[in-house]
């Protein structure tokens, strides 16, 4: 059914879409006008204001009452604000744990995850970025906020006390570890150096893929520390099996392409044996 909007509601939506919400008369900013559904995924003017970064122009009391308003995809106003990078326009006391870790029906994403995925995690209050809140996992992917940050290459925005060895290497049967996601996305260089060691980077997921092999596969091999390469060589027993053992792992490709002299040395040792 086609949504019937009043002339005032049409003008309000036009102002928002034209980035002119500040020009709209205060009389337009009513609960009735701001909650009307549009044909764009059932989004309301609240959603549109979030999408265009104009939430700060809406009176605070109205915002506080409607941040959990959903569009037809199950996305709240907070989801859209987190994706668009305008969480900072909202009063901190409005950003509750219940709101910011609420799953969207269509994607299963939660606002904190959306912010991390799109590089806006710094806008999320630090009180929400805690060890306890890592328990929130996206139903569709199994990702917690660290997986989202890795995918969005924004691990550098995560509080350092969350970037621990145990948090980053913990395997989830559906999505691997945060290290696996970081290796694919190309942000291993944002992981603390003490976590990037041999055991972690060669940790297989349910499908047998390791962070090292995923880094190689996605063209991010330059982010694998040289120390890991050397440790791989040191842990191989015997000259004859050195090159063949390394070849059995994707990391051999890393050595061939980024450390050609080391590769030649290994093959020369095999030939001499």
**pLDDT tens by residue, 27-86:** 999 999 999 999 988 999 999 999 999 999 999 999 999 999 999 999 999 999 999 999
Q: What is the pLDDT of residues 66-83, one digit of tens each?
A: 999 999 999 999 999 999
Instruction: Provide the domain count of the chain.
Output: 1
Residue 231's pLDDT is what?
74
pLDDT band at 241 (very low <50, low <70, confident <90, very high): very low
Do the domain assignments include residue 169?
A: no
Measured CA to CA, the distance from residue 155 to residue 181 in angstroms comes to 11
Do the domain assignments include residue 199?
A: yes
By residue range, what is the domain housing residue 267?
Answer: 194-273
Do the domain assignments include residue 100?
A: no
* Over residues 156-162, mean pLDDT: 97
Do the domain assignments include residue 218?
A: yes
What are all long-range contacts of 16-21, with beta carbons under 8 Å and residues at least 24 apart?
16/45, 16/48, 16/49, 16/52, 16/54, 17/48, 17/52, 19/52, 19/54, 21/49, 21/52, 21/54, 21/57, 21/58
pLDDT band at 240 (very low <50, low <70, confident <90, very high): very low
Do the domain assignments include residue 186?
A: no
Residue 269's pLDDT is what?
67
Q: Which residue has the higher pLDDT, 107 or 257?
A: 107
Mean pLDDT over the full length of the chain = 88
Do the domain assignments include residue 163?
A: no
Share of the chain above pLDDT 90, in %: 66
pLDDT band at 239 (very low <50, low <70, confident <90, very high): very low
pLDDT band at 230 (very low <50, low <70, confident <90, very high): confident
Q: Which residue has the higher pLDDT, 206 or 242?
A: 206
Do the domain assignments include residue 150?
A: no
* Over residues 91-98, mean pLDDT: 93
CB 250 within 8 A of CB 213: yes
Do the domain assignments include residue 261?
A: yes
Residue 249's pLDDT is what?
57
Q: Which residues of 52-79 are buried (b: 16+ CB within 10 A; e: fewer)?
A: bbbbebbeeeebeebbebbbeebbbbbb
Residue 215's pLDDT is what?
87
């Amino acid at each position: 059914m086609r949504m019937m909007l009043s002339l005032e509601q049409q003008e309000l939506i036009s102002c928002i879409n034209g980035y002119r919400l500040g020009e709209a008369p205060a009389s337009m900013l009513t609960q009735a006008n701001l909650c009307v559904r549009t044909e764009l995924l059932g989004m309301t003017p609240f959603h549109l204001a979030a999408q265009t970064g104009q939430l700060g122009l809406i009176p605070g009391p109205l915002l506080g009452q409607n941040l959990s308003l959903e569009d037809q995809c199950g996305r709240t106003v907070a989801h859209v604000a987190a994706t668009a990078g305008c969480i900072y326009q909202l009063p901190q006391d409005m950003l509750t744990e219940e709101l910011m870790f609420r799953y969207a029906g269509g994607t299963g994403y939660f606002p904190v995850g959306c912010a991390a995925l799109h590089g806006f995690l710094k806008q999320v209050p630090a009180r929400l970025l805690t060890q306890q809140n890592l328990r929130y996992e996206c139903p569709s992917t199994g990702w917690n906020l660290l997986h989202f940050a890795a995918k969005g290459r924004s691990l550098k925005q995560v509080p350092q006390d969350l970037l621990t060895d145990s948090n980053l290497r913990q395997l989830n049967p559906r999505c691997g570890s945060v290290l696996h996601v970081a290796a694919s996305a190309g942000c291993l260089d944002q992981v603390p150096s003490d976590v990037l060691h041999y055991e972690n980077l060669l940790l297989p997921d349910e499908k047998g893929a390791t962070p090292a092999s995923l880094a190689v596969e996605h063209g991010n091999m330059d982010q694998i520390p040289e120390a890991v390469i050397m440790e791989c060589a040191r842990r191989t027993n015997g000259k004859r099996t050195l090159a063949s053992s390394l070849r059995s792992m994707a990391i051999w490709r890393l050595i061939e392409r980024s450390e050609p002299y080391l590769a030649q040395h290994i093959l020369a040792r095999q030939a001499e044996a």
